[in-house]
Amino acid sequence: MPIGRIGLALLALFGAASASAQECGGTPGEFDFYVLALSWSPGFCASTGAGRGSAQCEAGRKLGFVVHGLWPQYERGFPSSCAGAREAPRYAIEEAADLYPDRGLARHEWRTHGTCSGLSPTEYFRAVRRARDKVAIPDPLVSLGQAGQTTPQNVERAFAAANPGLRPDMISVTCRGSALQEVRICMDRDLRGFRSCPAVDRSACRFGPIRVDAPR
């Protein structure tokens, strides 16, 4: 049976959708830019982390933004779990221990994303550190003492104001339900500057207000 115009249109639609999704595998070192994902720890703990008994959610840690990961990206979609890379050795995980809220996340991030960077584990985690050191957290989110409400646009503007060269079209604010989840910042491959990323920005939450839980 001929596929017809409607069938062709559907194939085109699904092809476009898959191009913007995760690609299983990939060639290490072949990507276009990085995304630095900073997780708002209180939001993670309120949604799933505390229920799982995550160490980062223990009372008194008072964690705000923590590194979720540094992700190699294509212009549309991203590689993952690239073949041919070894497990991260203990010494590399230990060197990165202050970057992530727990070592298990560091191991997971290396396997899923670091293996696609074309770097060794040590080089990759040092790249994570360079990326994190480049981003200043806005003061109101550093010193937040109690839960409040804002909008995704306000979060983007606050990060742009705190980081010269960073514009709202280079940032994606994601939510879980009506609560702040992550801020994702797009960076050049050499991590020297920020860059726009329309495909990443499409995953952002658009409407407010959103709840911003306080560190505890």
Higher pLDDT, 92 or 178: 92
CATH number of the domain at 32, please. 3.90.730.10
Q: What is the pLDDT of residues 7-59, one digit of tens each?
A: 323 223 333 333 335 566 889 999 999 999 999 999 888 887 777 778 888 88
Query: Would you say residue 10 lies in a domain?
Result: no
% of the chain residues with pLDDT over 90: 64
**Active site (catalytic) residues:** 68, 109, 113
How many domains is the chain built from?
A: 1
% of the chain surpassing 70 pLDDT: 88
Q: Considering only CA atoms, which of 205, 180, 174, 215 is closest in space to residue 50?
A: 215
In a domain, 11, yes or no: no
Give residue 125's pLDDT: 98
Q: Is residue 142 part of a domain?
A: yes
Query: In the 8-state DSSP scheme, what is residue 86?
Result: P
Cβ–Cβ under 8 Å, residues 117 and 30: no
**Two structure tokens written together for 99:** 């970057």
Q: Per the domain annotation, does 175 fall within a domain?
A: yes
CA distance 111 to 82: 8
User: Domain range spanning residue 126?
Assistant: 24-212
Q: What is the pLDDT of residue 23?
A: 61
E strand or H helix at 172: strand 171-176
The mean pLDDT value for 143-169 works out to: 91
More confident call, 59 vs 96 = 96
Q: Two tokens at 113?
A: 């994303």
In a domain, 19, yes or no: no
Cα gap 41→38, rounded to integer Å? 9
In-domain check, residue 120 = yes
Q: What is the pLDDT of residues 129-150, one digit of tens each?
A: 999 999 999 998 887 878 889 9
